[in-house]
Structure 1
Amino acid sequence: MQRKKLRYGMVGGDLNAFIGGVHRAAISFEGKAFLVAGCFNPDQSANRECGEFYQLADDRIYADYKEMAEKESKREDKLDFVTIVTPNFLHYQVAKEFLSKGINVVCEKPLCFELEEAKELEALAKEKGLLFCVTYGYSGFPMVKLAKKLVKDGVIGDIINVNAEYLQEWLIDDIGAGDISTNKLSVWRKDPKVAGISNCVGDIGTHIKHTVSYITGLKLKKIAAKLDYFGQPLDLNANILVELENGASGVFCSSQVCVGHANGLVARIFGTKGAIEWVQEDPNYLKVTLKGQPPQIYNRGMGYVTGRASELNRIPSGHPEGLYEAFANIYKTYINALLKKINGEELSENDLDFPTVSEGAEGVKFIHAVIESNKKQSAWVNL
């Protein structure tokens, strides 16, 4: 009998956690996976409160993730996948634990701290034959899918330049604040033991890198970076020169201290025949300008939007779709791929159109290259 629904568990993401709620909401869109187990917080009161809220069986609200992985792997109705939404420092060890027990994994980015850890997770997933998704959520937007299709179809010609930014202002008061916490959400991001070697680049700069690579289909060849710490242990601002594998150059700018910007991810791709621009804060539209012609604005949901962008369109044009829908699109693809795999069906290229552990590893490599370049006075570093 073919499976039509999946069971999933969650590590991290209690009732007070932002990103955990995003993941649960996104998974619920399709109605094909339901939460059956979790270890939501090391504080057992908050952990149990979350598990009881979602009406989990008492014996599937776990005190720690190791117990969860061990016991779930032995159940006849074990988890089909686990979603990891903890702070950064736990990603590697939690993912490794579940992979080792034969459970598929979805993990928040960054994948882990060290490139060796990323390669280990990649190899383990391959060895066990498991599907591993790293949630670079912006690649789930339909108009990002359309941008990728237009580039692949040669509409804007050969890529010659990229210009992308991700600007926020939410840590502006942390400039020169030392150990004083000016924003409760920034506390763990300022701690290298929890956040890793980077704050700004690790948190939002990797989204620039992934979005550009996803749209263009090109990896980075080398980078030169200048970081600003403003008295903090980790970076708050980054300006990065990049060279793509085809020789095209570009600039990435990520910042958490740019006044007037809330969540300003913008990707501009320039080719020999034209240009594409996508703005995350206005995600239902894609600007396409061909050489010698006026700009065209593609509107999500219209008949002229085809391919994956059309397949992942959820509501009629004019009704805004946003971050929840983008995450839901990633989960839709991942869950459908996992169901097909479980049911013995062959997976197509579109079935695997979600950010993989390999892309997560590329993100880790990017973070380390940026930090290395900054330490070497913005020298070029090969990826």
Structure 2
Amino acid sequence: MINGSKRIPQPIRWAMVGGGRDSQIGYSHRSAALRDQNFALVAGAFDINPERGLEFGITLGVDPERCYPDYLSLFEQEAQRPDGIQAVSIATPNGTHYAITKAALEAGLHVVCEKPLCFTVTEAETLREIALAKNRIVGVTYGYAGHQLIEQARQMIAQGELGEIRMVHMQFAHGFHSAPVELQNESALWRMDPRVAGPSYVLGDIGTHPLYISEVMLPDHTIKRLMCSRQSFVKSRAPLEDNAYTLMEYEGGAMGMVWSSAVNAGSMHGQKIRVIGSRASLEWWDERPNQLSFEIQGQPAQVLERGMSYLHANALIDDRIGAGHPEGLFEAWSNLYYRFALAMDATDRNDSALLTTLRYPDIHAGVEGVRWVERCVQSANQGGIWIDY
């Protein structure tokens, strides 16, 4: 079911903080936000270097007068304009997320923020309190959750097709940092610096992605306790880890495991989730996002394909092209930005009914991502003991 008009009535006036020319993720934000014309990029503080940010903003078609030297100037001066921004995306290093998100919310703006939202649960709870008090939307870019077959898995699990859920195996384990690449790559270096990256590297940078996907697939499964072991195989990265194993026990007795790694040599991406029930299992792999494996014990394995009519209706609503054509990460990100736009527009119109039907990585998902990383670090730093969640 292809919906060729994913539009809200009026585009949201939007800005970016960060995401400049050399940003690893800035282009993904712009491609996703602008694809359906639900956002209009009208301002920004694109670079820590004001001159470089101005030059880049002009190449994007932004009015030079609305290319600001820093985020505080952006928020203050846009608030004085009748056509000022309504929302901002934050695509900056981790250590800046809390201050920028807090300032944006206090300025009355909707926010889309890279994960992690911040470094501590205390900070995350503060952001949630402000967002709720200001009635502002906060979206977190767990972009892979925009793939349609994640919703298919959610529906199959809810309908009992797997039976009683016993195990959830998750991994995001690539090999691109199996050597100390940060010595030649500044965009990688900050991810291994605790002053900028925070209390973890791979747990917060990639481990929270499959964790959020599991929360989408299994909304009724809450973590009871966890234990974590983390390693710095490239020794110069200590105290931050480049590999970690997390074992989790859910309320109700199911078990979960997350392997987070940047040193899985030879692996291109390695993000997978396998949900195992008493009757059947399913598995999704982000390198083959258009297929969902479904394996019933004692029967031939099946591969469910994106876009096919046998899928649940909720797994078809985000299709952008027909079945057989491969959709990828830009489409998944665009699906999330479309939902962010719907949520922002509904909030501004006080449409609470629509808000209750929308699923997207919101402020609560952001808080839980921070909580999970914090608990993993606590466990690992105490020798890998069980920590109550």
- State TM-score, norm by structure 1: 0.95
Letter in 1 for 2:194: P
1:36 equivalent in alignment to 2:42: yes
1:139 equivalent in alignment to 2:142: no
The residue aligned with 2:105 is 99
Letter in 2 for 1:87: P
Deviates more, 1:118-127 or 1:346-355: 346-355
Question: Would the alpha carbon gap of residues 33 and 275 (structure 1) be closer, same or farther in structure 2, given more than 3 Å must change?
Answer: same
| Contact 1:149–1:307 (CA under 8 A) maintained in structure 2 | no
The residue aligned with 2:127 is 121
| Contact 2:347–2:355 (CA under 8 A) maintained in structure 1 | no
The residue aligned with 2:212 is 210
1:326 equivalent in alignment to 2:328: no
Match of 2:192 among 172, 175, 190: 190
The residue aligned with 2:30 is 24
SS at 2:25 equivalent? helix
Mapping of residues 52-71 of structure 1, within 5 Å: 52-71=58-77
SS at 1:99 equivalent? helix
Shift, 1:351, TM fit:
4.5
The residue aligned with 1:223 is 226
Mapping of residues 182-331 of structure 1, within 5 Å: 182-217=184-219, 218-230=221-233, 231=235, 232-233=237-238, 234-331=240-337
| Contact 1:11–1:38 (CA under 8 A) maintained in structure 2 | yes
| Contact 1:12–1:85 (CA under 8 A) maintained in structure 2 | yes
Separation in 2, partners of 1:120, 1:370? 21
Mapping of residues 139-158 of structure 1, within 5 Å: 139-158=145-164
Deviates more, 1:19-28 or 1:213-222: 213-222
Separation in 2, partners of 1:38, 1:295? 49
Query: How many equivalent residue pairs?
Result: 378
The percent of aligned pairs where both chains have the same amino acid is 34
Shift, 1:344, TM fit:
4.0
1:164 equivalent in alignment to 2:170: yes
SS at 1:209 equivalent? helix
Cα distance per residue 1:134-154 (max 9 Å; x no partner) = 111111110111111111222
SS at 1:118 equivalent? helix
| Contact 2:50–2:68 (CA under 8 A) maintained in structure 1 | no
| Contact 2:247–2:257 (CA under 8 A) maintained in structure 1 | yes
Deviates more, 1:306-315 or 1:276-285: 306-315
The residue aligned with 2:388 is 382
Deviates more, 1:242-251 or 1:318-327: 242-251
SS at 2:85 equivalent? coil
Separation in 2, partners of 1:94, 1:344? 25
The residue aligned with 2:15 is 9
Separation in 2, partners of 1:349, 1:161? 31
Separation in 2, partners of 1:142, 1:54? 30
What root-mean-square deviation, in Å, do the aligned CA atoms of Structure 1 and Structure 2 show?
A: 1.6
Cα distance per residue 1:191-239 (max 9 Å; x no partner) = 1111001011110111121111221112222111110013122100001
Deviates more, 1:113-122 or 1:73-82: 73-82
| Contact 1:289–1:295 (CA under 8 A) maintained in structure 2 | yes
Shift, 1:45, TM fit:
2.2
Letter in 2 for 1:209: L
| Contact 2:146–2:333 (CA under 8 A) maintained in structure 1 | yes
Separation in 1, partners of 2:29, 2:334? 8
Q: Structure 2: state its 5+ residue gaps.
A: 1-7
Cα distance per residue 1:316-364 (max 9 Å; x no partner) = 1111111111110001111122223333434436742110111111111
Letter in 2 for 1:28: L
Shift, 1:182, TM fit:
4.6
- State TM-score, norm by structure 2: 0.94
Deviates more, 1:207-216 or 1:354-363: 207-216
Q: Structure 1: state its 5+ residue gaps.
A: none
